[in-house]
Amino acid sequence: MIVDLMSKCGFPAGVVNLVNGTGIDLLEPLCSSKIPRVLTTIGSTQMGRRMIEYSHSSIKRFSLELGGDAPVLIFADTKDIKSAIADMVGLKFANGGQICVSPNRVYVQREIYPMVLEECKKLAAKYSFGSGEDHSPKEEVLQPVVSEQALTRMLEFIEDAKSKGAEVIFGGQKVKRPGFFLQPTVLANVTNDMACQKEEIFGPILPIRAFEDENEAFELANKSEHGLSAYVYTGSLSTALKAQEDIMCGNVCINGAHYSIELPHGGLKQSGYGKDISHLSLRDYYDIRRITIKR
């Protein structure tokens, strides 16, 4: 639709071109060509690595927004814990969990851990399933995952976690209806050796574990090769300041998930580099040149 509108408004032909195909089909010919000077993508870390690997034919720039493995830290001193939980659960199950900044690893301070689990269970139970067209605007509707392969991967995450000691607090099953629907799933007592803590989930699974103190929380938050987004809920200014210094993510949201077109968005570590919104995103498309003239 965008390309069609550009054509209708008289945009110069050939400046913007659309090529249809899967990422796998287009990746190697696009990247190995000597024509592109800048390559951008929003995708997995694996895809970003392949793009760089295939681009050896010429020197290219990259702007890559890659895998997310977002940690959520909820401290016991949070002023409105129920709002923090609702915030986290809403973001987790939005679009069936298929959002790059979706909570992936939830860490809760020990003294409020049982209460958080119970509240997450209550919120998960409110979801129905479908496209949203058959439901009232007030209903919480859980979307399907994108394919049967994705659904199988979600079920494998759950079985792996259960086999290693995790407890399914809510959900955990395929929904008996047409489509690739998984129940909103809440896992307790997850550990670092579980696949759902090592990989980006990209589905409606919410893994939760307890932490003792601030140092352990920040250590757990950084225990990932990814660094796209992180969420911290606390009533302490010192904890908030330490979080923004210590957590190695491109986006650190404190006491609320906030994204906006004027704010730079991008990752650190294996979550890529460059920004895909805000004025900072333009840097990837401009050349900095130095000109001197001797008089």
Joined tokens for residue 202: 């990209």
**225 flagged as catalytic:** no
The H or E element containing residue 206 is: strand 205-211
Q: What kind and span of H or E run contains 254?
A: strand 251-254
Q: Of 218, 230, 273, 232, whose CA–CA distance to 68 is shortest?
A: 230
Both tokens of 151, joined, read 């659904």
Catalytic member of 100, 120, 196, 253: 100
Cα–Cα distance, 281 to 43 (Å, whole number): 17
Catalytic residue among 31, 65, 214, 249: 65
User: Is 53 marked active-site?
Assistant: no
User: Of the candidates 285, 292, 293, which has an alpha carbon nearest to the alpha carbon of residue 62?
Assistant: 285
Give the three-class secondary structure for 281.
helix
- Alpha carbons within 13 A on the beta-carbon side of 5: 2
**Who's near 43: CB < 8 A, 6+ residues apart?**
23, 64, 65, 66
Cα Rg, the chain, nearest whole Å: 21
Distance CA 217, CA 222 (A): 9
> The tokens of 144 are what?
């399907």
Number of Cβ atoms within 10 Å of the Cβ of 91: 20
Rounded to 5°, the CA angle 138-139-145 comes to 135
Q: 170 in helix, strand or coil?
A: strand
Show which residues are catalytic.
Answer: 65, 100
